């Protein structure tokens, strides 16, 4: 069995649900709805006070889902997320201290990159799986196509502005493992507890790659 660091976050699901929650209870319902739709992974963003509790609750109550912590923007958050039970880490950008903090956890992680130089710096540090963020604002599919040949070792999870309609063109690229997005968990569906809608959106996303 591979160690956590060797696990490929990019190969678990074709679409990584990027989720913002205000309560751990909502997080558990969302996670269950995603699993029911065939997407057994979630990137829970550390953008709300409820985020760490939400990670703990999903780990406790939703078996079989891979739980990651996203929006890690300060080095100290890497350890906090691991303590809450996160199984992988995602950051929107990358600095030297962030890279070290994420490496220190021993967890797999996706550092955010938006330029060739940032991707090269991550590769120099031995990291080949990267987040490409903000994807649409940073050149989208055309950017990833252009760097596939000069920077072939980098594989990406593009996120930021991607939709159900644009996801297939990203997933068709050789240097894309999965895409990420918040479209699977619309705010109105969460507010009204429409978990079936989230399951439907997850099932559509899961079907993007046979």
Is 14 a residue that touches ligand 3PG (CB under 6 A)?
Answer: no
Give the residue, chosen from 70, 108, 111, 140, that forms a contact with ligand 3PG under the rule CB under 6 A. 70
Q: Which residues have CB under 8 Å from 181's CB, separation 6+?
A: 15, 16, 17, 18, 159, 162, 163, 167
Distance of CA 147 to the CA centre of its chain: 21
Give the residue, chosen from 14, 17, 111, 181, that forms a contact with ligand 3PG under the rule CB under 6 A. 181
43 counts as catalytic? yes
131 counts as catalytic? yes
Is 87 a residue that touches ligand 3PG (CB under 6 A)?
Answer: no
Is 180 a residue that touches ligand 3PG (CB under 6 A)?
Answer: yes
Q: Could you give the string, one character per residue 40-59, with x where binding to ligand 3PG holds by CB under 6 A and - elsewhere?
A: -----x--------------
Please work out, in degrees rounded to the nearest 5, the angle formed at the alpha carbon of residue 84 by the alpha carbons of 196 and 195: 5
What are the residues binding ligand 3PG (CB under 6 A)? 18, 45, 70-71, 92, 133, 159-162, 180-183
């Amino acid at each position: 069995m591979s160690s956590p660091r060797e696990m490929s976050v990019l190969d678990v699901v074709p679409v990584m649900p990027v989720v913002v929650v205000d309560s751990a209870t909502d997080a558990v319902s969302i996670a269950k709805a995603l699993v029911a739709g065939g997407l057994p992974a979630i990137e829970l963003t550390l953008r709300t006070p409820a985020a760490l509790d939400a990670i703990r609750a999903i780990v406790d109550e939703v078996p079989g889902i891979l739980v990651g912590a996203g929006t890690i923007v300060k080095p100290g958050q890497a350890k906090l997320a691991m303590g809450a039970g996160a199984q992988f880490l995602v950051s929107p950008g990358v600095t030297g201290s962030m890279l070290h903090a994420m490496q220190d956890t021993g967890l797999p992680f996706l550092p955010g990159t938006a330029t060739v130089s940032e991707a090269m710096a991550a590769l120099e540090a031995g990291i080949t799986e990267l987040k490409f963020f903000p994807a649409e604002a940073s050149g989208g599919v055309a950017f990833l196509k252009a760097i596939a040949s000069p920077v072939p070792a980098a594989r990406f999870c593009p996120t930021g502005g991607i939709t159900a309609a644009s996801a297939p063109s990203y997933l068709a690229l050789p240097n894309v493992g999965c895409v990420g997005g918040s479209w699977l968990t619309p705010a109105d569906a969460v507010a009204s507890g429409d978990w079936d809608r989230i399951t439907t959106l997850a099932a559509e996303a899961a079907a993007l790659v046979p």
